[in-house]
């Protein structure tokens, strides 16, 4: 790692680890308080991590998606909600490069770095489009979005909208400071309490013509293969969020497990000497969970490598290459989701009854994971992988929440 790019990568990962350590010190208290994450977003801004993916010539960090995914995973291990906030921000702020023309994307990214914006919103395929009505000066945006990430703290939103009578879904950039935009509540969710997610309403919100980024149509041939990479890019944000939360819980449980009596020892007819690290049941449980985490991590690494190669090809990418990347990302997301659900459900067994104490806050890992995976069920990803494996069918263009 002696190249300039390698040096920058190491610096960003060091910054992420420092911020993660800072977040971990009071993660339980902040999660239980459930206040809007204004301070946490300020910490992300001060660290420089918000502009990580913007090219250096536009004032950003100049890092690639492998670095961004590792940063998301590192932050999510310390605080799942903030890891989710950051991952959503990275994907949404990259949408200009996927869907807008190069000149417009460059203009938006320069403004983004100058203003150090945090990006929220959402362009999920399951969201009904907002209405985008043409005017003499641009457009007016109306409607209600059921779910958006970070809408309570965002400096800019990216949303899904359509012009009446045309129906083609479009990615639209919105300034939430405009009158007529009202952020609602995220509902009484049991996890990701600091993700500032929720519904948002639009009442004649002005949108400039240049802030309509481009098409989100899933119709065959509507998007270039490069724009089609938006879907696997988002899937891998989900995968690394899941892996980060799972690894964070495994790390905490390991420390607790070294300090407490084995929960299984009282039931053994042949007690063994020593502390839980010698307990064969604990060792077996950790072994199974570690194998699941490592297997999912290896698959995610393969998918990230493929995505980076696809992004590097740019407009030379073809449909078959895009489909292969999308299938690999779907497989990685499914594996990470399964591993995270199993780890966050079973790892507490190694601690036993003390894991239920609210002061430890170990339940937040399961709640953050389950809140996320309920929005992103893996059945659809598995169907895509199976259809490609059996029939060679290309996955439909589908963006996650």
Which pLDDT band, with edges at 50, 70 and 90, does 105 fall under?
A: very high
Q: Quick one: 11 exposed, middle or buried, by C-beta within 10 A (0-12, 13-18, 19+)?
A: middle
Considering the domain architecture, whether residues 193 and 309 belong to the same structural domain is answered as: no
Residue 352: its pLDDT value, please? 77
In angstroms, the CA 58 to CA 52 distance is 11
**What CATH number has the domain bearing residue 78?**
1.10.540.10
pLDDT the model gives residue 259: 58
Res. 401 pLDDT band, cuts 50 70 90: confident
Picking from 119, 139, 164, the residue at the C-terminal end of a domain is: 119
> Quick check: 197 and 150 in contact, CB under 8 A?
yes
Q: 137 with 65, same domain?
A: no
The reply to whether 145 falls in a domain is yes
**pLDDT per residue over 9-59, tens digit each?**
458 999 999 999 999 999 999 999 989 999 999 999 999 999 999 999 999
pLDDT grade for 185, boundaries at 50, 70 and 90: low
295: left (phi over 0), alpha (psi -120 to 50) or beta: alpha
Query: Looking at the 3D structure of the chain, how many domains does it have?
Result: 3
Output 91 or 375, whichever has higher pLDDT: 91
Residues 182 and 112 in one domain: no
The torsion region of residue 24 among left (phi > 0), alpha (psi -120 to 50) and beta comes to alpha
Provide the CATH number for the domain around residue 128.
2.40.110.10
Same-domain status, 174 and 314: no
The DSSP element (H or E) to which 292 belongs, if any, is: helix 280-313
pTM score, whole prediction:
0.92
Confidence of residue 262 (pLDDT cuts 50, 70, 90): low
Which of these ranges, 65-69, 275-279, 395-399, has the smallest mean pLDDT? Answer: 275-279
What CATH number corresponds to the domain at position 291? 1.20.140.10
The beta-strand segments (E) located in 198-332 are: 198-207, 212-215
What is the tens place of the pLDDT at every residue in 326-369? 999 999 999 999 999 999 999 888 777 877 888 888 999 999 99
Q: What percent of the chain has a predicted confidence (pLDDT) above 90?
A: 73
DSSP code, position 275: S
What are the backbone dihedrals phi and psi of residue 193, each rounded to the nearest 5 degrees, phi first?
-70, -20
CA 289 – CA 303 distance, rounded (Å): 21
State the Cα–Cα distance between residues 246 and 172, nearest whole angstrom.
34
Per-residue confidence band for 136, with pLDDT thresholds at 50, 70 and 90: very high
Higher pLDDT: 172 or 220? It is 172
Give the Cβ contact number of residue 32 at 10 Å: 12
Range of the structural domain that residue 34 is part of: 4-119
Q: Rounded CA gap, 359 and 61, in Å?
A: 38
């Amino acid at each position: 790692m002696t190249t300039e790019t390698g040096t920058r990568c190491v610096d960003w990962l060091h910054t992420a680890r420092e911020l993660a350590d800072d977040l971990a010190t009071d993660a339980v208290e902040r999660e239980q308080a459930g206040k809007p994450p204004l301070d946490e977003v300020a910490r992300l801004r001060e660290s420089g991590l918000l502009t990580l993916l913007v090219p250096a010539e536009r004032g950003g960090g100049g890092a690639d998606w492998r670095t961004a995914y590792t940063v998301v995973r590192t932050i999510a291990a310390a605080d799942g909600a903030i890891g989710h906030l950051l991952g959503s921000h990275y994907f949404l702020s990259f949408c200009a490069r996927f869907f807008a023309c190069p000149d417009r994307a460059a203009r938006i990214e320069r403004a983004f770095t100058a203003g150090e914006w945090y990006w929220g919103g959402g362009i999920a395929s399951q969201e009904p489009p907002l209405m985008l009505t043409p005017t003499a000066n641009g457009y007016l945006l109306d409607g209600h979005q059921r779910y958006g990430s970070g809408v309570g703290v965002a400096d800019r939103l990216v949303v899904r909208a359509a012009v009446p009578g045309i129906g083609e879904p479009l990615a639209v950039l919105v300034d939430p400071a405009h009158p007529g935009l009202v952020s609602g509540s995220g509902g009484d969710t049991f996890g990701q309490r600091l993700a500032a997610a929720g519904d948002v309403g639009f009442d004649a919100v002005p949108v400039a013509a240049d802030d309509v980024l481009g098409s989100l149509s899933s119709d065959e041939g509507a998007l270039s293969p490069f724009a089609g990479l938006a879907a696997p890019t988002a899937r891998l944000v989900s995968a690394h969020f899941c892996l980060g939360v799972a690894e964070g819980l495994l790390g905490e449980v390991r420390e607790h497990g070294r300090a407490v009596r084995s929960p299984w020892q009282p039931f053994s007819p042949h007690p063994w000497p020593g502390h839980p690290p010698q307990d064969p049941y604990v060792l077996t449980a950790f072994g199974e969970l570690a194998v699941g985490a490592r297997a999912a991590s290896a698959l995610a690494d393969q998918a990230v490598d493929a995505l980076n190669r696809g992004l590097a090809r740019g407009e030379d990418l073809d449909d078959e290459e895009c489909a292969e990347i999308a299938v690999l990302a779907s497989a990685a997301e499914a594996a990470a989701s399964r591993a995270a659900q199993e780890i966050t459900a079973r790892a507490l067994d190694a601690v036993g009854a003390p894991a239920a104490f609210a002061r430890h806050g170990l339940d937040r890992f399961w709640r953050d994971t389950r809140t996320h995976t309920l929005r992103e069920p893996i059945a659809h990803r598995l169907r895509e992988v199976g259809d490609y494996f059996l029939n060679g069918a290309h996955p439909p263009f589908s963006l996650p929440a």
